[in-house]
Amino acid sequence: MKILLKSVQIFDENSKFNNSKKDILIEDGKIKKIDSSIKVKTDTEIALDGLSVSPGWFDSSVSFGEPGFEERETIANGLDTAAKSGFTAVALNPNTQPILDNSGAIASVKAKSAGHPVTLYPIGALTRNGKNKDLAELLDMQDAGAIGFYDYKSSISNANLLKIALQYAQNFDGLVQSYPHDLSISGSGNVNENRNSTYLGLKGIPNLAEELNVIRDLYLLEYTGGKLHIPTISTQKSVQLIKEAKKKGLDVSCSVAIHNLFLTDEELKEFDSNSKVLPPLRTEKDRKALIKGLKEGTIDMVTSDHNPVDIEHKKVEFENAMFGTIGLESAFGALNTLFSTEDSVKFLTAGKERFKIKKHSIEEGAMADFSLFLPTEEYKFRKEHIFSASKNSIFLNKKLKGKPIGVIANAQILIQK
C-alpha cells in the first residue's frame, strides 16, 4: 500500500525535517521518501491546506468499558475514536468487568485490538479485583503485555502493600502506579473544596486528600527503590513535592489530565455533571502551577484521562453522577489552545519513553507512525466532534484551536471522513 502526503508541515524535534514542509511517501508501512515534491502513482493521496504530521501521540490513561461495560464504549469503537483523535497508541485502564488482573485478561483485550492502526497497551490491576488486599499476578501480566500496574482511581490505602509492590516489581523492571487520593480525607466529596463548593452546597475534596498520598508514596519509593508513576496530579503542592523528589534522584514520573490544565472549579456553577471529574477541577492557582510544572518538566506527560460514562450514570443529580469525562477527541485542540504546537506534540508523545513504547522519528526508512492534524483551525467543540459511544465531554461548547484528522500507523490509515 502506497500513501502520499502532499506538502505537510513536519513537527518532530528529533528529525532533520523538523519545521519543514515536505511531501512524504509511505510504502508498506515505512517512510520511503521525504522530499519537496514527490510525483508517483499511489493508492491514497492526502492533500489538505495546513495539514501537519508528527510522531504518533500516546495517551497513558484511557478507559473503554469493554469487557463488562460495552454500553459505555467498546474496544473497537474506542480505538477508532483514538485514531480519529490523532492517537496511535493508548494505555487501557483495567476498570472493566471483570477487572484486568491476570494474564488471560490482558491477552484477551490485546487480541481484541489486533489489526487496528492504533496499538492498545493494557495496564493490569495492581491488586486482585482491585480490592486493595492482595497483589495481582504482576509478572504474568507483564509477560502477557501489560505495561504497568494500576488500580484505576483507587488509592492503595495499605502502605505496606504498596511497599511490597514497589520491591517486587524491581525484579522485572515493572512500573507501579499509585493514584493519590486519601479516602479518609475526601470522604463522599464531589468537587474541589473551596468557596465554590460551599457556595453551591456540594461536598468538597480538599487538596490535602491528594497531597498526603503523594507524600506517603514518595517516602515509600525512597525507601524501596523501584519505579513509581503518579497519575493525574491536580494541585500546586503535588507539583512541588514531585519536583523535590526528582531532585533527590527518585525514579518517579507523573501525569496531568488535560482538563485540569484547561479548566477550573468555576465550571461547577453550571451544575453540569460532565464537570464532575476525579481528581476534581481545582483553582486557578493550581491550574497555573500545573502548567508551569509541565513546561519545566516536573510533570512528565499529559493524558486525556478518557472515561466514557453512559447517560444513565451521568445525566442525573450532580451528587449521584459518576466521575469522568471523555477526552480523546478534544485533547489536541485543548492543549494546542494553551501551548505552542511544538510543545503540544512534545507533551502528547512524552509518555512513550516511560512506558517503554518505541517512538518512531519522521525519517526515510523509519516506520510510519504519524498523527495527522490541522494546528491552526479554530472551532467550538460540539457533539458532532465526538466519536465516542458516550457523549460526556467536559469540553462541550469550549473554543479550541487545532483539529486532529487521523493517523497512519501499523501500515494502515484511518482518518475522519
Q: Give the Cα separation of 289 and 284 in Å (integer).
A: 9
Q: What is the mean pLDDT of residues 99-115?
A: 98
pLDDT tens digits, 251-262: 999 999 999 999
Ramachandran bin of 346, using left for φ above 0, alpha for ψ from -120 to 50, beta for the remaining angles: alpha
| Cell output for 363 | 525519517
CATH at residue 87: 3.20.20.140
Q: Are residues 165 and 209 in the same domain?
A: yes
Q: What is the mean pLDDT of residues 201-213?
A: 97
1 pLDDT above the threshold of 90:
no
What lies within 8 Å, CB to CB, of 117 at 6+ separation is: 79, 83, 88, 407, 408, 409, 410, 412, 413, 414
Of 354, 387, 402, which one is at a domain's C-terminal end? 354
The number of distinct structural domains making up the chain is: 2
Is there a catalytic annotation at residue 305?
A: yes
Q: Are residues 32 and 178 in the same domain?
A: no
Of 354, 373, 394, which one is at a domain's C-terminal end? 354
Of the pLDDT bands very low, low, confident and very high (cuts 50, 70, 90), residue 226 is: very high
CATH at residue 18: 2.30.40.10
- What is the structure's pLDDT at 417? 79
Q: Are residues 151 and 74 in the same domain?
A: yes
Q: Are residues 111 and 239 in the same domain?
A: yes
- What is the structure's pLDDT at 213? 97
Q: What is the mean pLDDT of residues 25-29?
A: 96
Q: Give the Cα separation of 280 and 180 in Å (integer).
A: 12
pLDDT tens digits, 325-357: 999 999 999 999 999 999 999 999 999 999 999
74 pLDDT above the threshold of 90:
yes
Domain housing 209: 57-354
Q: Are residues 390 and 244 in the same domain?
A: no
What's the whole-number average pLDDT of the chain?
A: 97
- What is the structure's pLDDT at 400? 98
Q: Are residues 197 and 333 in the same domain?
A: yes
Q: Give the Cα separation of 381 and 404 in Å (integer).
A: 12
Given the residues 305, 310, 343, 369, select the one marked as catalytic. Answer: 305
Of the pLDDT bands very low, low, confident and very high (cuts 50, 70, 90), residue 236 is: very high
> Can you tell me whether residue 24 is helix, strand or coil?
strand
Beta strands, E only, 95-193: 119-122, 176-177, 191-192
Q: Are residues 42 and 160 in the same domain?
A: no
- What is the structure's pLDDT at 152? 97
- What is the structure's pLDDT at 50? 96
Residue with cell 460540539: 382
Of 333, 354, 375, which one is at a domain's C-terminal end? 354
Beta strand 2-10 with 21-27 is antiparallel
Q: What is the mean pLDDT of residues 66-91?
A: 98
Q: What is the DSSP string of 174-209?
A: --EE-----HHHHTT--EESSHHHHHHT--EE-HHH
Instruction: Work out the number of other CB atoms within 10 angstroms of the CB of residue 151.
Output: 25
Report yes or no: 218 and 252 within 8 Å, Cβ to Cβ: yes
Q: Are residues 280 and 138 in the same domain?
A: yes
> Can you tell me whether residue 344 is helix, strand or coil?
helix
Of the pLDDT bands very low, low, confident and very high (cuts 50, 70, 90), residue 175 is: very high
Q: Are residues 173 and 232 in the same domain?
A: yes
Q: Are residues 98 and 142 in the same domain?
A: yes
Q: Give the Cα separation of 264 and 251 in Å (integer).
A: 30
- What is the structure's pLDDT at 7? 97
Q: Are residues 65 and 45 in the same domain?
A: no
Q: Are residues 160 and 205 in the same domain?
A: yes
Of the pLDDT bands very low, low, confident and very high (cuts 50, 70, 90), residue 276 is: very high
DSSP 93: P
Q: What is the mean pLDDT of residues 274-287?
A: 98
